[in-house]
Amino acid sequence: MKSFTYERARTPAEAAAAVARTPGAKFLAGGTNLLDLMKLEVETPTYLVDVQDLALDRIENTGEGGLRIGALVSNTALSADMRVRRDYGVLARAIQAGASGQLRNKATTAGNLLQRTRCPYFYDTAMPCNKRAPGSGCAAIGGYSRQLAVIGSSDTCIATYPGDMAQAMRVLDATVETVNARGATRAIPIADFHRLPGDKPERDNVLAHGELITAVTLPPPIGGTHLYRKVRDRASYAFALVSVAAVLQRDGTGRVCFGGVAHKPWRVEAAEAVLPKGARAAAAIAFADARPTEAARFKLSLATRTLAAVIAEGKAG
C-alpha cells in the first residue's frame, strides 16, 4: 500500500473542502471497498479524509411521510430499522442479500452506493482497464466476461455495478443529498446518480470531486408486496449474476429494477407498463437494446426467469 496523508473531518462542509482542494483525495467511512482497493493499489489516494465522526448516522422521519437516512447509517442498522422493514421491505431484503453480517456492520449507506465494480480486470493492475486507467483499453472485451454487463455498456467498458441496495433505492425513487466544498447542497434523484460508462468509464456517478453524500431520502411508502431475488454462483458472499428488486401491486402493476446486468441499476419504466402481461413481455422491453458478450448472453434468459419467479412470489404472497 502506498503512503498517504490522513485527516479526521469535523463537519460535512469541512470534509468536502478538504477533499476538493487536494487532487487524489478520497473520503473514508466504513472502508469495506476502498481499503481493499488500496491494498491492491487499484486505488492510490494521496490523502484520506475520515468522515466517521460526522453526525450522519441517524434515520429520521421526514415531514412528507418518508425517511431520511444518514450517509453513515450502517447497512445492518438500516435493514433492522422497523420503519424500513415495515414500509420499505425491498430495501431491507436487498441489504440482507449483500456481503456478510460482519461487512454489513461496517458498511455505510453512502459507501454502498459508491462501491466500485468487481470486474476482475479492474482488480488486476497488470491488465488494461479504462475504468482504472483511462485510455488503456478494456481487457474484459474479448476476455472473461461471464459476470459482466449485457446492456448499457460501451466500446470502452462492460463492467457492472455490483451492489444490491441501489436496486431497491431505485425502485423506491430515493434521492441522494450532498454537500460541496462551498457548503452548497443538492438533491440528486437516484435515477440520475449512477452513470453508464460511455467514453468516461472511470466515472461511476455524477458526483464532483469533493462532493460528499450526507443522506439518502425515501419518499412516502408506496405499499404493495416488496421482493428482492438475487441469483449468484454461491449461496453467500457473492455478487449477483442477476438480481431483481420489485414492488408489486395487487392489480399486477408494479416497479422493477434489475441488478448485475449494467453499469448502474437497470430500471426501465416502459417495461413496468407491461408487467401485467408477464415477465417475458417486460424483459423484452427492458433488454431491447442488449449487447451481451457470448459468455454473458445467458443473463438475458436468467433475468426473464428471475423476474417470472418474483412475479409468481408476489402473487402467492
Each residue of 265-285: pLDDT tens digit? 999 999 999 999 999 999 999
Residue 135's Cβ-count burial label (10 Å; 0-12, 13-18, 19+) is exposed
Question: Binning pLDDT at 50, 70 and 90, where does residue 159 land?
Answer: very high
Query: Would you say residue 236 has pLDDT above 90?
Result: no
Q: What is the pLDDT of residues 287-315, one digit of tens each?
A: 999 999 999 999 999 999 999 999 999 98
Q: What percent of the chain has pLDDT over 90?
A: 95
Bridge partners (DSSP) of residue 49 are 7, 27
> Residue 175: its pLDDT value, please?
98
Please count the other Cβ atoms lying within 10 Å of the Cβ belonging to residue 213: 27
Please count the other Cβ atoms lying within 10 Å of the Cβ belonging to residue 288: 11
